[in-house]
Amino acid sequence: MQDKKIYITSEKVVKVSFFVDITDVLINLLVAIISGSVIMLSQALQGSADLLASGLLIFGVKKSKGLADRKHPFGYGREVYFWTFLSALTTFRQKSLYQERRKVRRYVGHEADINKSLAEGECTERNREPRAPARGYL
């Protein structure tokens, strides 16, 4: 039995990552539609940022395989670093824009306050239970 060597290239890794991101976004959207969950929709939006980043990496890997020419006598191999940097910037920017939008909506008051304080671990007027006074510290 011969041992076959399996070569893992950066192109294979980026393509697999791209397809995993596609399935992640589609599954999150499907669950968000079926359940009506805002959290799953949020996960789908954040997964789309990863999908965009993977798309930029695929483009960068393909461009970095260009052969040497008169303008670039050593080839285009280092171009993949630029596309990796651009991918990271778009990921951070897209996720930060989503968070900034949430902050502005919360500040302006457009978000529903239904059980918001429960999610943050506080008591509301409806569910307030009497607490025993703290002992030993006063």
pLDDT of residue 23: 96
- What are 5-61's pLDDT values in tens digits? 878 888 899 999 999 999 999 999 999 999 988 888 888 888 888 899 899 999 988
The C-alpha atoms of residue 68 and residue 66 are separated, in whole angstroms, by 7
21 and 47 Cβ atoms separated by less than 8 Å: yes
The C-alpha atoms of residue 34 and residue 44 are separated, in whole angstroms, by 13
48 and 25 Cβ atoms separated by less than 8 Å: yes
- What are 70-120's pLDDT values in tens digits? 887 788 888 888 888 988 898 888 878 877 877 777 777 655 554 454 455
Q: 135 pLDDT band (50/70/90 cuts)?
A: low
CA distances from residue 17 to 12, 25, 48, 84 in whole angstroms, order as listed = 9, 12, 12, 14
